Amino acid sequence: MNKVYACIDGLANTPAVIDWAVWSAQALCVPLALLHVLERPPERAVFVDYSGALGLGAQDSLLYELSELDEQQARLAQEAGRRLLLQAQARATAAGLTEPDGRLAGQMRHGDLADTALELEPDARLFVLGMHSRGERSANTRLDHHVESLIRTVQRPVLVVPGETFTAPERVVIAFDGSPTARHLVAKVASSPLLVGLPLLVAMAGTETPLAREQLAEAQRTLELGGFQVSTLLVEGEPEQVLPPLLTTAPGAALLVMGAYGHSRIRQFIVGSTTTLLLRSSQVPVLILR
């Protein structure tokens, strides 16, 4: 686990993804690798002329032209990917990233992003990728399928970038529910150099109970032992409703940290998932920990 992988696609927030990946690699003191995946185009349906109006020779000619067009599009995609990686390398270098051998690794792969990430997972410390949506973000926004697929597939942390600009985080909000997964998340944050020096708010959405307060106090102790400045908050309501305002109304650029999907796929299909709902509505980058 010794690389930060920046998953870039050339869309509008690619520069922000690169900048966040550079920031992460510098904080973790690990190399940065740029990854661009060329997804396979959908298979073309074989054209069959049932009317008899198009002869066999004409059909063969059309299939040949379609094949030539596919090859041309593949060559253009390869060239566009090569240029994208070169531009990304230049941006990362300009942002101050230096590698021991003076080179910045860039990879262009064919296939599916999640499958590629799974292949690279043994050598990954963190995956960084952009999240694309149209219009104003809300809990009803459809989650980018690349984001959901990657988070469900890999066991490494994933940093999801929703915006088109990079601002170094000044504070961190940890979504906490007292579960074993949440306590494991807190322990990972406490032992990682990624967020060192940033003030942490451990926020719990739920009912005021002695147990909830004790769970928050335990999380605070764990993080303070890791050297962090920590505050806690218990607020009534559902996480997807009460946590987003904590990220945007308080001063200072925020980063949200939360755990990955904790329910079965069937249960998530029926009732949804807090992870999905918060990702849909978040205006700030989200760090997902397993």
Classify domain 167-290 by CATH architecture. 3-Layer(aba) Sandwich (3.40)
The pLDDT tens digits of the residues spanning 71-108 come to 777 787 788 888 999 999 999 999 888 764 445 677 88
Query: Residue 221's pLDDT band (boundaries 50, 70, 90)?
Result: very high
Task: Note the pLDDT of residue 80.
Answer: 84
Please check the confidence at residue 270 and state whether its pLDDT lies above 70: no
Please check the confidence at residue 249 and state whether its pLDDT lies above 80: yes
Between the alpha carbon of residue 263 and those of residues 138, 271, 272, the distances in Å are 21, 10, 9
Q: Among 138-142, 150-154, 200-204, name the most confident range.
A: 200-204
Please check the confidence at residue 159 and state whether its pLDDT lies above 60: yes
Please check the confidence at residue 204 and state whether its pLDDT lies above 80: yes
Task: Note the pLDDT of residue 186.
Answer: 97
Q: What is the mean pLDDT of the chain?
A: 83
State the pairing for strand pair 4-7/105-110. unpaired
Query: Residue 255's pLDDT band (boundaries 50, 70, 90)?
Result: very high
Positive or negative, the CA dihedral 67, 68, 73, 75 is positive
For the ranges 116-125, 148-157, 239-248, the lowest mean pLDDT is seen at 239-248
Same fold, 1-163 and 167-290: yes
- CATH superfamily name and code, 1-163: HUPs (3.40.50.620)
- How many CB atoms are located within 10 Å of the residue 271 CB? 8
Between the alpha carbon of residue 265 and those of residues 209, 228, 270, the distances in Å are 30, 35, 9
Instruction: Transcribe 43-104 into DSSP letters.
Output: PPPPP--SSS-S-HHHHHHHHHHHHHHHHHHHHHHHHHHHHHHHHHHHHHHHTT---TTS--
Mean predicted confidence (pLDDT) in 238-244: 86
What is d(CA 58, CA 122) in angstroms, rounded to the nearest whole number?
A: 51
Please check the confidence at residue 179 and state whether its pLDDT lies above 60: yes
State the pairing for strand pair 200-205/171-175. parallel
Phi first, then psi: give them for residue 235, nearest 5 degrees: -130, 140
The pLDDT tens digits of the residues spanning 2-33 come to 899 999 998 899 999 999 999 999 999 999 99
**Sequence ranges of the domains in the chain:** 1-163, 167-290
